[in-house]
Amino acid sequence: MSIVKKMIEVPYPLNMAEKDRFRYEPYTGYELLPQKIKYLRNVFVGNSGFCMNRRGLIKECHHAYSWQYEYYQNEAAKYYYDVDDHPENLVTLDDDNTYLAIHHPWFNYYHWVCESLFRLWMVRDKLDRLVLLLPEHYRNADFIMGSLEPFNIKRIYYIPNGKSVMVRNLCLPQIKPLCDSYNPLQLKQVRNFYWDFVHNIKNITTSLGDRIYVSRRMAPRRKVVNEDEIEPVLEKHGFKVFCPEQYNFQEQVSIFSQVRFLAGEHGSGLTNLMFVNKDSSLLELHKDKSNDLDHPSPLFWYMARAIGVNYYHQLCDTQGVEDYFDGDYIVDPDLLDRNLALMCGR
Distance, C-alpha 203 to centroid of its chain: 25
Q: For residue 57, give the nearest of 105, 2, 5 by alpha carbon.
A: 105
- Cα angle: 159, vertex 191, 211; to 5 degrees: 115
* pLDDT above 70 as % of the chain: 94
* 327 has pLDDT over 70: yes
Residue 292 has pLDDT above 60, yes or no: no
Q: At residue 96, does pLDDT exceed 70?
A: yes
Assign 296 a pLDDT band (cuts: 50, 70, 90): confident
CB-CB contact of 325 with 266 (8 Å): no
Residue 1 has pLDDT above 80, yes or no: no
Angle formed by the axes of helices 184-196 and 299-307, nearest 10°: 80
Q: How far apart are CA 54 and CA 140, in angstroms?
A: 33
Query: What phi-psi label fits residue 203: left (phi over 0), alpha (psi between -120 and 50 degrees) or beta?
Result: left
Give the tens place of pLDDT for each residue, 107-120: 999 999 999 999 99
Q: Give pLDDT, residue 290.
A: 55
**Would the pLDDT of 38 be above 50?**
yes
* 239, 261 contact by CB (below 8 A): yes
Give the Cα separation of 340 and 346 in Å (integer). Answer: 10
**In whole numbers, what is the pLDDT of the chain averaged over residues?**
93
> What is the pairing mode between strands 130-135 and 6-9?
unpaired
Work out the end-to-end distance of the chain between its first and last CA atoms, rounded to an integer number of angstroms.
47
- The ranges assigned to domains in the chain are 34-173, 194-344
Angle between helices 333-344 and 227-236 (to 10 degrees): 30
The third-level CATH classification (topology) of the domain covering 194-344 is Rossmann fold (3.40.50)
Q: What is the pLDDT of residues 124-134, one digit of tens each?
A: 999 999 999 99
CA–centroid distance for 130 within its chain:
24
pLDDT in tens, 154-177: 999 999 999 999 999 999 999 999
What percent of the chain is predicted at pLDDT more than 90? 86
Q: State the pLDDT at residue 297.
A: 85
Question: How do residues 237-278 score in pLDDT, each as one tens digit?
Answer: 999 999 999 999 999 999 999 999 999 999 899 999 999 999
What pLDDT score does 4 carry?
58
